[in-house]
Amino acid sequence: MIHLDYVERAAGVQTAPVVCMHCEDPTCARVCPADAIKQDDRGVVLSAARPRCIACSNCVLACPFGVPKMQVRYDLMMKCDLCYDRTSAGRKPMCAAVCPSGALFFGPREDIEKSRREKPVNEFQFGRQRVRTKVNIMTAPDNDVLSIDIADFLPRETPDMHPRPGARPGAPDAADAAIWNEWNSGPAELATAPE
């Protein structure tokens, strides 16, 4: 099952497919208390098994890509599973089969590398969490890791930019100072947004 996000633009509405990235170590499966989300031997992360899913939504909250969707009508989490019925039979997933622009590609990584000038990347940085996926995103040739955490695009702040009520500006308490120091000292490999 694939979900579409609808993006309102000045000239109309555009759609963007929300496909599962099929993480090597899927967070959605790790946080499932009912063990309803499984990964097959090819690395495909499957939708929750109907008899096991307890509709707790842990997977919805844990996925760094925002892919799982709770279907309240069915009390079941559903998400892209690479059209498991099709791909397990050697066919392309429906999204890649019908994409009119060829933006969605299903096949060996080597094939896409030959046909595009962009570079496929399957490592993503979310704050301090690095995620490797089965799915690749095409990006500029100089990118090895995509940082897609919103915090990476915010300007670095100082404690006196947001003083606590009653606090003297420029004089944060010890707890505030510790938080700001941790916030402003991320890992060295963390990608930063251009200024």
Owning domain of residue 83: 3-101
> d(Cα 123, Cα 43) in Å, to the nearest integer?
15
Q: Which of 101, 128, 156 is the last residue of a domain?
A: 101
pLDDT in tens, 71-129: 888 888 989 888 889 999 999 998 889 888 888 888 888 888 887 888 888 888 887 78
Q: Which two tokens stand for residue 175?
A: 């707890």
Q: Mapping DSSP to helix (H, G, I), strand (E, B) and coil, where does residue 121 land?
A: strand
Query: Exposed e or buried b for every residue in 118-150, given b needs 16+ CB within 10 A?
Result: ebebbbbbbeeeebebbbbbeeeeeeebbbebe
Q: Give dist(CA 67, CA 11) in Å, integer.
A: 27
Final residue before a domain boundary, out of 61, 82, 101? 101
Residue bearing the bigger pLDDT, 181 or 34: 34
Within 13 Å and on the Cβ side, how many CA atoms surround 172? 14
**Whether residues 83 and 133 fall in one domain:** no
Q: Are residues 81 and 47 in the same domain?
A: yes
pLDDT in tens, 142-186: 777 777 655 545 555 555 555 555 555 555 455 555 555 555 554
Same domain assignment for residues 51 and 93: yes
Quick one: pLDDT at residue 142?
78
